[in-house]
Amino acid sequence: MSVDKENCVCSAQDVAQMLKRIASEIIERNCVSEKLVLVGVLTRGVCLARRLQDIIKTASGRKLPLGILDITLYRDDLSIATHHPVVRKTEIPFSLDEATVILVDDVLYTGRTVRAALDSLIDFGRPQSIQLAVLVDRGCHELPIAADYVGVSIPASPQDRVMVRIAENDGFDKVTVKPRNAMSGE
């Protein structure tokens, strides 16, 4: 019999605080950047990017342009996927040339999603720099990729499942970890 235990690591209040801190760090690090833009990776990365956009506007009076990035066709596991991929629309209604891009995603795990996002972004222009903001860095990176802005680091084994739930998609904000022994029923 399987036990369905999840450990809550971050509440909605924690998520809000982490996003405020990340926004402050983005403002501080990029205060002189003339062309600063946010690009969220579908799906939860877009929701987080929108929230960062609002927090940054409130804190600095500066409304950053926001883009939406679908990385489906850039994934390195596309050819081995057993399902038919759903390709959604990438919307970057501004030039990335010479821009400082803040790439936003919910979880940094292996680094493969970020690699795909980088490949995709380069097809849209040549940014001056790309910085990575993630709500959760769970470790276990397979590629040499590190986030510039991290809400929380959660050391998790490859078998653990780290779930980021966002109100816009899931009805509430919460970060949970389902440990390996809870998934296997041990």
pLDDT in tens, 133-167: 999 999 999 999 999 999 999 999 999 999 999 99
Residue 144 belongs to domain spanning: 7-75+89-184
Q: Which residues pair with 103 in a beta bridge?
A: 39, 132
Residue 140 within any structural domain of the chain: yes
Q: How far apart are CA 104 and CA 46, in angstroms?
A: 7
Residue 82 within any structural domain of the chain: no
Q: Which residues pair with 48 in a beta bridge?
A: none
Please give the residue that has the higher pLDDT: either 87 or 96.
Answer: 96
Count other Cβ atoms within 10 Å, centred on residue 127. Answer: 21
Residue 1 within any structural domain of the chain: no
- Work out the pLDDT band at 6, boundaries 50, 70, 90: confident
Q: How many domains does the chain have?
A: 1
Indicate if the pLDDT at residue 15 is higher than 60: yes
Half-sphere exposure of residue 168: CA atoms within 13 angstroms, side-chain side: 11
Mean pLDDT score of the chain, rounded to an integer?
91
Which pair of structure tokens corresponds to residue 98? 């010479």
Say what the pTM is.
0.90
Residue 84 within any structural domain of the chain: no
Q: How far apart are CA 156 and CA 159, in angstroms?
A: 8
Angle formed by the axes of helices 12-29 and 44-60, to 10°? 60
Residue 103 within any structural domain of the chain: yes
Which pair of structure tokens corresponds to residue 41? 């990776």
Residue 37 within any structural domain of the chain: yes
Torsion, Cα of 16, 51, 60, 23 (10° steps): 60
Residue 128 within any structural domain of the chain: yes
Q: How far apart are CA 63 and CA 52, in angstroms?
A: 10
